[in-house]
Amino acid sequence: PEMDTAAWRAVLERVWEVSIPHVCFTGGEATLREDLVELVAYAEGLGLVTGLLTHGRRLSDGAYVQALIAAGLDHVQITLESHDEAVHDSMVAAPGAWRETVQGVRNAVAAGLYTTTNTTLTRENVAGIEETVAFIASLGVPTFACNSLIYAGRGATVGTGFREGELVPILEQVREAADQHGLRLIWYTPTQYCAFSPLQLELGVKACTAALYNMCVEPDGAVIPCQSYYERLGYILRDPWEDIWNHDLAQALRERRYAPEKCQECPEFPLCGGGCPLYLRHHWPEPTRETPSG
């Protein structure tokens, strides 16, 4: 069962007690909770930095945006899959969603809330990705993010994702469009550098951060390694934090035990960490480019 407001307050207190400085409210869809504004305010009162990851539809209500700002929300990331209304609505399986999402972006930007967008690159939306970048720029968003499909939940079987090696020309196109429109591009997805190196496109070092820099608390209080890794490490209101942090799975992820044997001797392994463990479950072996020897 989903935790009530009092339980979520206790979660936030626990997070603060173990010296975690930053929480992001996500989902599912966090704005479906009627107590979200209250929880943001409570987190801010504790001293936490707060963010919201959302489809943005409820932000089409300007008064709701103002309520979040008054509560102290520090930043918001809104999922925008395409400049094309039909493509976006198809990807999120919700007719009419695009118009509300776009209005949500406009409202957040106009209100002065630090706003970014995120776009998942799939076979459904890459044909118009340059137009999407231009559209994001027209909304006044200074920074946008992209990721590839996460192989968890429906993403594991939907069949619209790209293999890592296919991302190179797509990200080159996205980066060029971002430069053209003066946007900062953030790339999220960890990959095997032998297939796709973000360093070659000046996108920064990317590796799996699950159970290292981030974890996720599920609606029932279960802690999982990241938002998409659906295996419990424990329960935040029941188990000692040390037990959660030192769970066998958490340690295995931090130690990159999931990485294929061939990765262990690669000079880029300390940076790439073998890529995303969820991706590796579905795509191995991976066609590779030549890996530098030194």
Domain for residue 200, yes or no?
A: no
Question: How many whole angstroms separate alpha carbon 179 and alpha carbon 198?
Answer: 16
130 close to 102: Cβ distance less than 8 angstroms:
no
SS3 137: helix
In this structure, the number of other CB atoms found within 10 A of the CB of residue 284 comes to: 10
Task: Please indicate, yes or no, if residue 232 is contained in any of the structural domains.
Answer: no
Tell whether 31 is covered by a domain. yes
Q: What is the pLDDT of residues 65-124, one digit of tens each?
A: 999 999 999 999 999 999 999 999 999 999 999 999 999 999 999 999 999 999 999 999
Domain holding 143: CATH number?
Answer: 3.20.20.70
Mean pLDDT confidence for 157-180: 93
Q: What is the pTM of this model?
A: 0.93
Question: 172: helix, coil or strand?
Answer: helix
**pLDDT tens figures, 198-257:** 999 999 999 999 999 999 999 999 999 999 999 999 999 999 999 999 999 999 999 999
Show Cβ contacts of residue 227 under 8 Å, excluding neighbours closer than 6 positions: 26, 216
Mean pLDDT confidence for 126-150: 98
| Residue 231 placed within a domain | no
∠ CA 262-170-83, rounded to 5°: 140
Give a yes or no: residue 220 inside a domain: no
Q: pLDDT-based confidence at 278, cuts 50/70/90?
A: very high
pLDDT greater than 80 at residue 145:
yes
pLDDT tier for residue 283 given thresholds of 50, 70 and 90: confident
Average pLDDT, the chain: 95
Q: Would residue 30 count as lying in a domain?
A: yes
User: What gap in Å lies between CA 127 and CA 90, rounded to an integer?
Assistant: 15
Domains: count for the chain:
1
**Residue 254: inside a domain, yes or no?**
no
Q: pLDDT digits over 56-67, tens only?
A: 999 999 999 999
State both tokens at 214.
Answer: 């981030």
Residue 284's pLDDT is 61
H or E element in which residue 31 lies: none
- Domain that includes residue 53, residue range: 5-189
Residue 212's H or E segment, with its range, is none
In a domain, 44, yes or no: yes
